[in-house]
Structure 1
């Protein structure tokens, strides 16, 4: 059974692109790089459904150019170099198949926690200490799209949904009862204080009984290879992921 690529789907939705728009962006990126490709909506559907496990190099380069992320961060299994077949079909909007159930399987989403599904727009808030600025405490805030497949959650911040501009955040989480554990990656702004540095680490949170808030701690490495930690919270803003809802949260959090 194919395993859906929820990470790629979350990244695409975080970019506010339909599958067709994403395919067009990949073709434009190929032309600009001098390596044209034939990316199509059908191909994007096959990547996201897991029917095609990974992209050929010409598509991998375009994916990295469009998303701003390395190919290994887009949910493809290693090695992510496979041949592409031409069958497959699906929808055309931002949600093309039911979240939590691979399209066509009819398998129910497992009841993994107080709420059965955490898909939606969440406000992500964490705090960190900046040793280079007198150990001041700063907040990091993002409007994040979370998508659920079974007990796995994948997330990506909206393009303009960060407190600090041009600092996209990605999450890869797993739900076990009321515990949420996983990894995070943030690419800081090239013109910001951290000058485009890429940070990553782990996070563990507990889900409140309402299922509308997760709170816990993050762990990550600092610039001097020290281990840092701090609080992290996810608060549900909207369970819908339609274009109108994503547009409404495509702004810096207050």
Structure 2
């Protein structure tokens, strides 16, 4: 894997690249704690990070918009679940706060959002750096 690239005019490595996203949630209908994973393409837009998941065969999609105030990244998340999956293409959204590790190779924190029965849910969310390039070949 390539090292993080320096952003133009920045004193710190860029957070742009491909990251592995993992979040935990409780499924009341399946009585289990589950983990969902997506690979995200992350780009800087000013002092914000914008992330979009790479296409999955299942069709599930995740996006993040995070304001950066190092070492904190705060913002919103949105997921449209797989059309043929357990949640049948439902869209969920909420808020997210992450602590950026000093190595800038991982972020961890918590999400908050609503569930299928309109109850508030929360869980852990981690992002782990995979690749600096966002090229089509890397994706």
Compute the displacement of 1:174 (Å): 1.0
TM-score (norm: length of structure 1): 0.50
The match for 1:150 among 23, 46, 60 is: 46
Correspondence list, 1:62-211, <5 A: 108-109=9-10, 115-134=12-31, 136-160=32-56, 165-211=58-104
Whole-angstrom CA distance in 2 between matches of 1:190 and 1:166: 7
RMSD: 1.7
Q: Which residue of 2 aligns with 1:215?
A: 108
SS of 2:116's partner is coil
Aligned length: 134
Gaps of 5+ in 2: 1-5
Structure ranking higher on relative contact order (CA contacts 8 Å, 6+ apart) = 2
Q: Which runs of 4+ in 1 moved over 3 A?
A: none
Whole-angstrom CA distance in 2 between matches of 1:191 and 1:243: 27
Whole-angstrom CA distance in 2 between matches of 1:100 and 1:172: 19
Q: Which has the higher Rg, Structure 1 or Structure 2?
A: 1
> Greater strand share, 1 or 2?
2
Whole-angstrom CA distance in 1 between matches of 2:135 and 2:116: 38
> Greater helix share, 1 or 2?
1
